[in-house]
Structure 1
């Protein structure tokens, strides 16, 4: 089986598992989404559980790579520029990985807790290195930012809009910068 075929199946599975959850997702719907046969899916992955685990592992690898890049590439001059860049980068990160987050947070996954602990700790260290303010606890800033962006991104992903995404993000950035400046 070619790499392209495997990639089609994994991308389709990510989409279906994120929308329906593991229990409600069927291999038939995944095959249809990928444009391939169910036989091809089973030939490569053997079981739905194997496919699900591959999706989780691939998602974690992609997320970790993107997070490493995000933490390495952000070097604005002022704290305000840093914070704005960090929040915008996190918003893009969540948008790029919302299907993965949906799976991790909605399924009973043994990899969730250590992964989230590492994720929060890495972001907290990063914030601690760049934001020097006695008014902001780095971990609280990380938890607040990630929770806020997760909620906004999830609502956008599901086509709901209790608030305007772009406007809410701008207001959040202004509020966080106001706290740092005060």
Structure 2
């Protein structure tokens, strides 16, 4: 593992647990590097936080929605997006909750706005799919409906995290939401 990966891995581990309250000493210790190395590379804890979180968000949430958008069947397209995004969100539950908490505290910049990253990738995928199909759909409204589904699984209590359900249960839940969204567009 190179030094940057080592720092990112240690930083994400500490930031997920402590958010912006984490210290560079804690990050350096977890990453197995000298604190001065962090300062040389990132100059401030805030720059380190932004760099690490932005990298993780782009990798995990920038997604492959445009690839999913190539699906011809609209119900299957929506089902696949819902299943994919709920899987990613539930696998990264601690990170998402930390980011929502930091966002509510006003600690996040526009560079690491999780809702915006998710919303913009959804809109691009929806626009690509519906343009290709030559359907006139309110993309913003549809993306907001999908966002509501995702938010409900993050905030409202669930018996089991989405990623711990059986493959069939995940598919059934996603299909149910897709049908509901389809009925409104």
TM-score norm. by structure 2 comes to 0.66
Measure, in 2, the Cα distance between the counterparts of 1:125 and 1:6: 31
Unpaired runs of 5+ residues, structure 1, are: 153-160
Q: Does structure 1 residue 150 correspond to structure 2 residue 173? A: no
Q: Counterpart of 2:46?
A: 49
Q: Counterpart of 2:9?
A: 11
Unpaired runs of 5+ residues, structure 2, are: none
Contact map agreement 2:54 2:112 (CA 8 A) in 1 = no
Q: Counterpart of 2:82?
A: 87
Q: Counterpart of 2:126?
A: 127
Q: RMSD value over aligned CA atoms?
A: 3.7
Aligned-pair CA distance for 1:84: 1.9
Q: Does structure 1 residue 139 correspond to structure 2 residue 135? A: no
Query: 1:53/1:121 Cα in 2 relative to 1: closer, same or farther (>3 Å)?
Result: closer
Measure, in 1, the Cα distance between the counterparts of 2:78 and 2:91: 20
Measure, in 2, the Cα distance between the counterparts of 1:32 and 1:73: 40
Contact map agreement 1:21 1:103 (CA 8 A) in 2 = yes
Measure, in 2, the Cα distance between the counterparts of 1:62 and 1:177: 25
Q: Counterpart of 2:159?
A: 163
Query: 1:116/1:4 Cα in 2 relative to 1: closer, same or farther (>3 Å)?
Result: same
Query: 1:32/1:50 Cα in 2 relative to 1: closer, same or farther (>3 Å)?
Result: same
Measure, in 2, the Cα distance between the counterparts of 1:19 and 1:181: 40
Contact map agreement 1:59 1:100 (CA 8 A) in 2 = no
TM-score norm. by structure 1 comes to 0.67
The answer to which structure, 1 or 2, has the higher relative contact order (CA under 8 A, 6+ apart) is: 2
Secondary structure in 1 aligned to 2:26?
helix
Q: Counterpart of 2:174?
A: 173
Aligned-pair CA distance for 1:83: 2.0
